[in-house]
Chains A and B, each alone.
Chain A
Amino acid sequence: MNFFFFHLMPWPDLPPPREFLREHEAAWVTLPNSLYDPTAGARLYTRYLDELVAAEELGFDGVVVNEHHQNAYGLMPSPNLIAAALTQRTERVKICVLGNALPLYNPPTRVAEEFAMLDVLSGGRLISGLVVGGGPEYYSYNVNPTEARERFREAVDLVLRAWTEPGPFPFEGEYYNLPYVNPWPRPLQQPHPPVWIPGLGSPGTIDYCAERGFGYMGVAYYAPPESFGRQAARYREAVARAGRPYEPENLGWLTTVYVADSDDEARADAYEPLAYFSGNLAAGFVGAGKVWMPPGYIDPPALVQFLEDLRAQAQATAGGDRREAAFLRNPLVGGVDTVRERLLALVQEHRLGTVLALMSFGNLAADKVRRSMELYAREVVPWVRERADAWFAEEFPHVATAR
């Protein structure tokens, strides 16, 4: 089992959701950057970096950072800068950048170069996340969204060839043409660092990961819990179809986690930060307001389905109990026993080998984050790890013998 600590580096100082949405249509693309206070921002980077470093001290297997642009949701337009700092402040943990949005880099060999740097700087600890990039990013970077998927796949081929094929060689694609591909440095891990791809459940992405032998990391917190179950099943089936042995650590679950001394205390602490996360920070790509989903970024049938799901979810919670709906989407909020048992059950149900825990979410206060990290790392993770590893060794003996 892999237990990773995932950070978005959110901006915590927006007004509460209702007040915020009266004045602003979204936290993405057009949210005035005058709302960003650099002095507070400096303190925030220090705090967030300390949290990532603390994850190593607490025994997590890895830390995860990711890329977003022009928004309050995540303050890492260049996650590679944060990862570079982490190579110097940690010694053991894997460092996962999940990921770089390849179509936003031209040429994408820039990503091959920077990831190779990070791999060498970290002594071979990099996990390379490659992503299409979110819909809002296509507005912010003005990359043609109708080309997003094709550009992404071509860029993945280019990056992998840049890492594995002796340079210089020419690359001729539809979107990228480079006469001399020859990046220095090359990655330390051979043939290349592991590749993980995060997704919201698009069947095409899941199948692609399985076919290419990439890890698939399902983003869980915007969808009802059964949605991840469907994604996990599809991934396992696609791996089998591709004729590969199933490796549980290649299936990841990206979820919020908050642990306190009791379920009641955990729910009381977590509710408002969860509401801030989904109501403020995610406004702009999910939710009832403006959805910065550019034309052609996903096929019209998928877009219509996406909007129908959003509406169904918004209407279901509008009249009913918002709190219960929030805790249903975020099941790992609770006391130690609850989170232990739920996590082990989910690991077994989905044959899930990697859990990416988003613990510093919304506007959750630093001391609460730290206490929850300690409880999770000391009380939950070892308990689940012991049982899950034993269970996996029985279920998937080929994985155990390969180690």
Chain B
Amino acid sequence: MTGIMLDDRRVELLRMGEGEPILYLHGLADVHSVFEPGEPPPLLSQLAAGREVLAPAHPGYEGSGELGVHADAEDYAFHLLDVVDELQLDAVDMVGASLGGWLAVEFALRHPARVRRLVLVNPLGLHVPRAKTGLFFGAAAPRGIGGFAEVRSMLFSDAQSAVATEALPDDMSRERQLRWFGGLAAAARLGWRGPELRNPKLRGRLRRVTIPTLLLWGKHDRISSVEHARAWERELPDAELVLVPDAGHSVPLERPDVAFDWISSYLAHPSAPLTA
């Protein structure tokens, strides 16, 4: 792991591979929150086989300084502008999952010239009134005894699958707990205010995102259901939606091969018709 400095604020950065850069914005259960540094998620290793992958930790996540007291989604977008400037990225392919998908679109709205193509994997951020929405922070409350099954059931289609229990094991080491709880606090700083992990203003703004966008969506997402996926598809002018079976909120962990195939082919040929 390396880091970059934005004035006096550090940003933790995972940097892998060579070639055309991809800026990867991580989700709730992802690199920087559940993976050991030096053991990146399989999806990122696959992407890094042919491209340079740049994955910064969001403010407040392990190794990255926090934004100020009043920071909202717009400040996170300004923060990403600083990151993109510091990394000297011109028009970059952005892949954002979960929380990172929300931040990617907040950035793309305001700085469209800096984004070439957008891949959003089960993004948070869009409030869809009356859509089924799981309450993540309530599920993430710890238990005295009994581990992390409740929050796993929110993040994964199968809470007891190997992928889920390796990411959030019931007997998490102290070090991993610190990383996980630190990440939760960072997510809460931005997303605690209701509606949870959403920006109510986003809905009216999405029509301005004209960048070609792939929406990749785990069908069994309990935080952002398929109803959310359809709303994203409706609101974005140039988006295509792909539903991923046998996956929930954490597609990059649950179905890395499927995610890799879709992402790599879309980024190579964004205008080609999508086929499963």
In the complex, the answer to whether B69 meets A147 with C-beta atoms within 8 Å is yes
List of A residues within 8 angstroms of B69 by Cβ: 147, 150, 174-175
Binding site for B on A (CB under 8 A): 29-30, 139, 142, 144-147, 150, 174-175, 286-296, 300-301, 303-304, 307, 310-311, 314-315
Cβ-defined partner of A314 (8 Å) among B144, B150, B181: B144
Chain B, residues 170-193, CB within 8 Å of chain A (1/0): the string is 000010011001101101110011
Determine whether B137 belongs to the interface, using a CB cutoff of 8 Å to chain A: yes
12 additional A-B pairs beyond A146-B192, A174-B69, A304-B178, beta carbons within 8 Å, are A29-B138, A142-B193, A144-B188, A288-B146, A290-B143, A291-B143, A296-B189, A300-B181, A300-B185, A301-B178, A303-B142, A314-B145
Q: A142-B193, A145-B192 are in contact. Are A300 and B146 (CB under 8 A)?
A: no
In the complex, the answer to whether A146 meets B181 with C-beta atoms within 8 Å is no
In the complex, the answer to whether A146 meets B146 with C-beta atoms within 8 Å is no
List of A residues within 8 angstroms of B49 by Cβ: none
Cβ-defined partner of A307 (8 Å) among B70, B142, B182, B194: B142
Residues 103 to 143 of chain B near chain A (Cβ within 8 Å): 137-138, 140-143
In the complex, the answer to whether B142 meets A288 with C-beta atoms within 8 Å is no
The 5 closest A-B pairs by CB, nearest first: A296-B185, A295-B184, A300-B181, A295-B188, A288-B145
Residues 148 to 186 of chain B near chain A (Cβ within 8 Å): 150, 174, 177-178, 181-182, 184-185
List of B residues within 8 angstroms of A286 by Cβ: 144
Cβ of A322 to closest chain B Cβ, rounded Å: 15
Cβ-defined partner of A295 (8 Å) among B143, B146, B181, B194: B181
Residues 178 to 231 of chain B near chain A (Cβ within 8 Å): 178, 181-182, 184-185, 187-189, 192-194
In the complex, the answer to whether A287 meets B142 with C-beta atoms within 8 Å is no
| Cα A307 to Cα B145 with chains together (Å) | 9
In the complex, the answer to whether B141 meets A292 with C-beta atoms within 8 Å is yes
In the complex, the answer to whether B194 meets A142 with C-beta atoms within 8 Å is yes
In the complex, the answer to whether A304 meets B193 with C-beta atoms within 8 Å is no
Cβ-defined partner of A294 (8 Å) among B70, B141, B143, B174: B141
List of A residues within 8 angstroms of B150 by Cβ: 290
